[in-house]
Amino acid sequence: MIRQLVILLSGFLFALGLGVSEMTRPEKVLGFLDVFGNWDPSLAFVMGGAIVVYAAALQFVKRRDEPQFGKRYRIPTRTDVTPSLIGGAAIFGIGWGLVGFCPGPGIVAASALVTPALYFLPALIVGILIHRWLFN
């Protein structure tokens, strides 16, 4: 029960952070990508803050023998660059640049009934299902 509560609170904190940083607004993301127009650097600060928090959390995790609510840590170890990694990154980047949503902010915005996100969410689900059909 505690594990599920921690998961719920973590998701809520993540959604709150996306909302406070305005990353649920596609025009914020698109403004960041518009480097030759009216560039908005705020997304770089959000990303920088996320890197700092992740780096600190990773150091904390490395000092522990096992996680509090699981059997083992799942820390990525692969460093190879594969065609599927490049292709997935390209598809993600193109979609992100076209509509200004990535999955996290898109789901948060859809839960707030933001109209563009309500179109984005079904497309996200279809993309996930196509990937599973092709690669699983």
- Number of Cβ atoms within 10 Å of the Cβ of 17: 16
pTM of the shown model:
0.76
What is the predicted pLDDT for the residue at 95?
87
What is the predicted pLDDT for the residue at 72?
84
Domain residue extents for the chain: 2-135
DSSP string, 50-89: HHHHHHHHHHHHHH-SS-SSSSS----------HHHHHHH
26: left (phi over 0), alpha (psi -120 to 50) or beta: alpha
Contact 33, 27 (CB under 8 A): no
pLDDT digits (tens, 9 = 90+) for 80-120: 999 989 998 998 899 888 888 989 999 999 998 999 999 99
pLDDT digits (tens, 9 = 90+) for 34-62: 989 999 999 999 999 999 999 998 898 88
